[in-house]
Amino acid sequence: MFGTGQTALRDRLRAALHQPVRRDRAGLDRSVTARADLSALGGRWFESPLGPGYVIESVYDAGYCHGDVPLHRALALPLERLARQARDERLAGLEPAALRFVDTETTGLGGAGTMVFLCGVARFDGARLVLRQFLLPGPEYEGGLLGGLGEELEAASGLVSYNGKAFDIPALETRYVLSRQRPRLRELPHLDLLHPNRRLFRGEFSSHRLAVVERELLGFEREDDCPSAEVPERYRRFARDGNPTHILPVLRHNAWDVLSLVALAAHLGAACDDPARPLQAARAAEYAGDWAEAAARYEAAAAGEAQRAVRLEALEKAARAYARAGDAERAAACWEALIAEPRARRVAPYVELAKLREHRLRDRAGALALMEQAVALAERGLLRPGSGELSLPAMRRRLERLRGR
């Protein structure tokens, strides 16, 4: 048993780490009653196995659009394909309705003393989206937030976040561990939308921050939003005096984050098969390992792309994908198209086409003629040799070997 001095020291240590100080249940209940002014936030108090907590619930009807995207489209997520892009095969075969879309707000940027004071969790109930925001009125109610969140995630088959693998989930896990709980967060399949978004839309906009992505992809523009840098200070003011006007902008900011998760998941899922976005659909097929489909989509993207750099990249990707799909003839046609490009000075198409002709098409004479042309152009400065097998000495060695055969 702790003595009086040890108990005081323990409580001071808990306070320094922002851990809840254990008090009797009656004292907590009286505090709940004393905070009736939180009703202005539109939420309610609840009881959890870890103590009382506070939650604000919002319901969005089936036709609700976040920006240009109806939220109910997330119910048709192609999780088989997104699972490979997210590098988590456990997502394949899951029902989108059993996913939980999660976003947190914290008191700081890291460390054991950082508390999660708000966690928004959205799930589908039929075609409606239900958003629950678990709010921490004060450090002593952390058990309630963790307990309520744990119950909310009990029926989840997977999580969806934006950079949650690096930030939100570790922050929550730390709080659970410090409260002597065993979180099941790591056990759940996790679709972190940041990573497939970077892969599918790389080079299309200046930043992959959520606020930029939702504006560029979803058509959603935040008006009078609370800047992320202000969030911790607004919470500190709220926890100090209980004035709901401090926290209301943060609740809206968090709600928009969660709704953007749902809409972005739906948008990425559609981009996987959207003929209007052949480049993104091609990348999605490539990351899913569907080489024949990826090759055809890359070729279509190259045919319709006005920007030369993108067209050349798409043609090269198509050539490599056709080769991996076992279609050497079409791969060769793509390399030939790259060689025929005006002002093309790259060595790779010559070397790759020569390899295809020699090893797959059994056309050694064609491979020899191609390497003779490539070496001559490189020696005249009309091609830019690279490194490794694309260097001029390597090209000469390949040419001599073909001549010897």
pLDDT at position 106 is 95
Report whether 395 contacts 374 (CB < 8 A): yes
DSSP strand pairing (69-70 vs 99-106): unpaired
Q: How far apart are CA 83 and CA 92, in angstroms?
A: 6
Strand partners, 128: 125
Report whether 339 contacts 353 (CB < 8 A): yes
Q: How far apart are CA 257 and CA 102, in angstroms?
A: 9
pLDDT at position 242 is 84
- Starting at the edge strand found earlier in the chain, the sheet holding 116-125 runs 44-48, 51-60, 128-135, 116-125, 99-106, 158-161, 190-192
Residues of the chain with CATH 3.30.420.10: 14-271
Full DSSP string of 50-83: TEEEEEEEEEE-TT-EETTEEGGGGGG--HHHHH
Q: How far apart are CA 317 and CA 286, in angstroms?
A: 9
Count of CB atoms within 10 A of residue 348's CB? 15
3-state SS class at 33: helix
pLDDT at position 16 is 60
pLDDT-flagged residues of the chain (< 50): 1-2, 21-36
- Which helix (H) or strand (E) element contains residue 4? helix 4-16
Whole-number Cα distances in Å, 210 to 95, 109, 122, 214: 25, 17, 17, 6
DSSP-H helix ranges across 242-327: 244-271, 278-287, 291-304, 308-324
pLDDT at position 1 is 41
pTM above threshold 0.85? no
Residue of 117, 122, 151 whose CA lies nearest to 134: 117
Q: Could you tell me the two tokens for 271? A: 């981009």
Rg (CA), the chain: 28
Q: How far apart are CA 169 and CA 163, in angstroms?
A: 9
pLDDT at position 34 is 47
pLDDT at position 25 is 45
Cα angle value 121/127/133 (rounded, 5°): 15
Q: How far apart are CA 150 and CA 52, in angstroms?
A: 13
- Which helix (H) or strand (E) element contains residue 195? helix 194-200
- Provide the CA 209 distance to its chain's centre, in angstroms: 10
CATH topology of domain 14-271: Nucleotidyltransferase; domain 5 (3.30.420)
- Provide the CA 380 distance to its chain's centre, in angstroms: 47
Strand partners, 262: none
Total number of residues shown for the chain: 405
Q: Could you tell me the two tokens for 23? A: 């008090």
pLDDT at position 351 is 95
3-state SS class at 131: strand
Q: How far apart are CA 280 and CA 310, in angstroms?
A: 12
DSSP structural state of residue 362: -
